Structure 1
Amino acid sequence: MYVAVGSENPVKRVAVERTIDGRVEAVGVDSGVSEQPRGRRETVRGAENRARASLSATDAAFGVGIEGGVESREHPAGLWLIMWAAVTDGESVHFGAGPSIRLPEAVADRVRAGEELGPVLDDRLGREAVSEQEGAVGIYTDGRVTRTDALADAVAGAFGPFFTDGTA
Structure 2
Amino acid sequence: MKLAVGSTNPVKVDAVERTLEPYEPTVVAVDVDSGVGEQPWSIEETVAGAENRARRALAATDADYGVGLEGGVARLEGVPGLSLIMWGAVTDGDRLERGSGPALRLPDSVAERVDAGAELGPVMDDLLGTDGLAESEGAAGALTAGLTDRTRALGEAVACSIGPFLTAYYGGDD
Normalised to the residue count of structure 2, the TM-score between the two structures is 0.94
- 1:53-80 alpha-carbon deviations (Å, 9 max, x no partner): 0000111000000000000135221000
Output aligned runs, 1:52-91, within 5 Å: 52-91=55-94
Output aligned runs, 1:1-168, within 5 Å: 1-20=1-20, 21-166=24-169
CA distance in 1, matches of 2:138, 2:13: 14
Q: Secondary structure at the match of 1:77?
A: coil
Q: Secondary structure at the match of 2:12?
A: helix
Q: Secondary structure at the match of 2:75?
A: strand
CA distance in 2, matches of 1:155, 1:125: 28
Look up the equivalent residue of 1:60 and give its one-letter code.
A
Look up the equivalent residue of 2:56 and give its one-letter code.
A
- 1:6-57 alpha-carbon deviations (Å, 9 max, x no partner): 0000000000001222110111100000000000000000000000000001
Consecutive unaligned residues in structure 2, runs of 5 or more? none
Look up the equivalent residue of 2:125 and give its one-letter code.
D
Number of aligned residue pairs:
168
Percent of matched pairs sharing the same residue = 59
Q: Secondary structure at the match of 2:82?
A: strand
Consecutive unaligned residues in structure 1, runs of 5 or more? none
Normalised to the residue count of structure 1, the TM-score between the two structures is 0.97
Q: Secondary structure at the match of 1:85?
A: strand
Between 1:118-127 and 1:66-75, the stretch displaced more is 66-75
Identify the structure with the greater strand proportion: 1
